[in-house]
Structure 1
Amino acid sequence: MPERRDEIMEVVMTLIMHGGDARSSAMEAIHAAKDNDYERAQKKLDGADESISQAHKVQTDLLSQEASGENVEINLLLVHAEDHLMNAMTYRDLAGEMIELYKRIN
């Protein structure tokens, strides 16, 4: 059982890490667009997308384990990690919209 808990903690930390990276990149994209640097803004959005993609792979592996009948321990840290990722995805989507608005304004 300790091995399984270690696996879950690795998933938790990976989701939080990639979620945090994605959120930071999305915020940097907004700041770049605010400075009329749309090329940098796009690169930051691309970075956010890559981080989200990496997190999604880990998340999908966990979901596949659950779907195949393996018992996946749900704990508060895992819920927090999923919430962290969801917020990062929302930030990324909003950043894309804000960049488009900055482009229209300028």
Structure 2
Amino acid sequence: MSELEQQIIGIISSAGDSKGKAFEALRKVKEGDYEGARALMEESRKIDLEAHKIQTKLIQSEMDPDAEKPEINLLMVHAQDHYMTSQLARDLIETLIEVFETKEGGK
């Protein structure tokens, strides 16, 4: 497996882990455990940063006229799809936590 493929798999893996933590946080909300939900969302954000760092490195390579350009392929598109989906899920779940917490007087 090439370095690029490893980086792409890193994005997919981090994005999946981040999204998983966010949905786990939503389950905590269903149990009324807002503190646990917020802790899981913080874990989700930290995991997401790993995917973001890899993505940023690939984008910088793409922009650097002296660097070898990363090959755009289906695997990279798939990774970007996973990353964007995990970000959307996390953002939406953060908002849901706020809504439920406010509605139930948990804040």
TM-score by length of 2: 0.91
Unmatched runs of 5 consecutive residues or more in structure 1: none
Alpha-carbon distance, 1:24 to partner: 0.3
Q: Secondary structure at the match of 1:82?
A: helix
1:4-41 deviation per Cα after TM superposition (whole angstroms, max 9, x unaligned): x7011111110010000010000011111111101110
Unmatched runs of 5 consecutive residues or more in structure 2: none
**Residue equivalent to 1:103:** 101
Alpha-carbon distance, 1:105 to partner: 2.3
Q: Quote the Cα distance in structure 1 between the aligned partners of 2:102 and 2:60.
A: 42
Alpha-carbon distance, 1:102 to partner: 1.2
1:50-102 deviation per Cα after TM superposition (whole angstroms, max 9, x unaligned): 11111100111111111112321000001000100000000000010110111
**Residue equivalent to 1:72:** 70
Match for residue 21 of structure 1 among 14, 17, 28: 17
| Structure 1 counterpart of 2:85, one-letter code | N
- Say whether 1:34 aligns with 2:30: yes
What's the RMSD between the two structures over aligned residues?
A: 1.1
More helix by share: 1
| Structure 1 counterpart of 2:97, one-letter code | I
Determine what percentage of the aligned residue pairs are the same residue: 35
TM-score by length of 1: 0.92
Q: Quote the Cα distance in structure 2 between the aligned partners of 1:84 and 1:62.
A: 16
- Say whether 1:12 aligns with 2:8: yes
| Structure 1 counterpart of 2:38, one-letter code | Q
Aligned residues: 102
